[in-house]
Structure 1
């Protein structure tokens, strides 16, 4: 079976530091795969906050995760501080991808990389909505 390959941009629009807690570790003592997605979710929330939005209010619309893919590059351990880099890419009429990369703050070792596909959602109407023009313009200018 072919492995997932995720190409990353040279530059990212956003970065945030997130420490790894004991609750992020699995029985083998390294970062758990489900916890990795939790760390990335926290970074995504901070990314939207940095733009003045919340995941439930991006120009009046919310976001929904449509898909996610990731590649592990190395282990990560309790007490390490991760830097999660994030940027938008591949806009469509209803959504875009959030590309991300996680590195250890001290060693700069790449731990994981991934792509999260989001679509915009009108929670009042309960339907997918178009990407807000102002959000797209802001994100593409970063």
Structure 2
């Protein structure tokens, strides 16, 4: 089952605001500097736009597949030890500041974005990973 991720509107506006900056620089700077700025903005914007369009989590029979644009991580469900919320903004690509920390066996932790339907995501993870400690409190109905 696929779960689209939540997206913070401020982060989306920030990413979308980056695109015109390269074009504006082309006209306000010298021609050589403007082209360099435009190329840098294209290189930065393409992966971010890709991630904006293609960000989701998929729970299959035996794994959790995390997709963030060009980045795809597969986590075997049998290796998940615990799942909890975190607010660490520096450790993973995500469209919100609230993230989910997944601890695998051997104390390897992966941070992922929060899905839009976190209640259904939690229930499915609990069903697929009965031995894992899943601490995802849902505060809304």
TM-score by length of 2: 0.25
Q: Please identify the structure whose Cα radius of gyration is greater.
A: 2
Return the structure number with greater helix share: 2
TM-score between both structures, scaled by the size of structure 1:
0.25
- Of structures 1 and 2, the one scoring higher in RCO (CA 8 A, sep 6+) is 1
